[in-house]
Amino acid sequence: MSKRKLDAKTFASQKRTRRQWLTFFRMCRYGVNNFSRNAWLSIAATAVMTITLLMIFVTFSAHNVLTDTVNQIRDKVDMSIYLQNDTSDADAMAIKAELLKLPSVKHVNYVSPTQARNDFAEQNKGSNAALDALNEATNKFPGTLNINVTDINNTSELDHFVKTDALVKKHLDPNRPPSFAGSRRSAIKNIGRIVSFAQQVGVGASILFVAISSLIVFNTIRMAIFNRKEEIQMMKLIGADRNFIRGPFIVESIMYGFIAALIATGLGVLILYLSKDGLLSYGIQVKSAMAMATSYLGFVILAMILLGAVIGVVSSLLATRRYLKI
């Protein structure tokens, strides 16, 4: 007797599973039919979602490009402390050792007055006027401590060090203030400000296009529901499940996201490829973003599809909720 009950439960479970799969395939088929039935609305919704996903792709790529470029600029930008010409090498090395103890300092290079003079002569060896001026000049080259820091926009530790360290105060060149305290400071700060502004603009544009895309998908689904209002009411009257009614619209919105993701990813990679040479000519580091986009293309496409699907599903759920309350 128990075996018959077990067989009956197994049969019922299998039957329920088959019915669920059949319902799922029907919802998918109805969703595909809805997509093709409302061709112009579908094209409009897909186009706007494509622009949205493309903006998101460009924003993340630009963030990567800007980060790499700023890191390169940061490594090239030296914060300089100028020492008097008669500062001994021993005192200069002692100051260098203290600078390296600061958490914000990555590297320090000391250029002695003699080395600075030789470097100037080497750089201008083709200019007789410069060499003559160098031989006749009474001004002497200072000793220079070139410092690389982790954050070019934060020089507070260096400011405090220069103002409080006794050895630096003793040998600091009074005619040449440190570069991070002079006119170059504003230029250095502007680098970080420009990057921060560009990132904020990109994020803001992405949020704006996500909102616009969601609104268009929302209205597209609502128009499709309005056109099929009588059909939906009939389905309600014969006892159709809410999820069965909602399902085709969700499938339709997922198709918007899927197609838009493929197009947006292709366009994004193409834009990176076409702009690579031009950006590199201006010193903008785009190689890393290009390599990441091509090496992990499958993951990028999958992420874009998931993002497009989320935008579409949320819009679809909001649009269908009103018509499924009763």
Same domain, residue pair 306 and 204: yes
Most confident of 41-55, 79-93, 169-183: 79-93
- Mean pLDDT on 153-173: 84
Domain contains 220: yes
Identity of residue 137? A
- 70-100: pLDDT as tens digits: 667 666 666 788 888 888 888 889 988 888 8
The answer to whether the beta carbons of residues 81 and 162 sit under 8 Å apart is yes
Q: What is the per-residue pLDDT for 323?
A: 62
> Within this chain, do residues 204 and 307 fall inside the same structural domain, yes or no?
yes
Task: Please indicate, yes or no, whether residues 317 and 201 belong to a single structural domain of this protein.
Answer: yes
Confidence (pLDDT) at 1? 47
| 276 and 130 share one domain | no
Residue 118's CATH number:
3.30.70
Q: Residue ranges of the alpha helices (H) in the chain?
A: 2-37, 39-76, 89-100, 113-123, 128-136, 156-164, 166-171, 184-227, 229-237, 242-281, 287-295, 297-321
For residue 130, the one-letter residue type is A
Q: What mean pLDDT is reported for the chain? A: 76
Proportion of the chain above pLDDT 70, given as a percent = 72
Q: What integer pLDDT is reported at residue 263 of this predicted model?
A: 92
pLDDT in tens, 1-11: 455 555 566 65
Give the whole-angstrom CA distance, residue 295 versus residue 194.
29
* pTM tops 0.85, yes or no: no
- Angle between helix 242-281 and 297-321 (nearest 10): 140
Tell me if 45 is assigned to some domain: yes
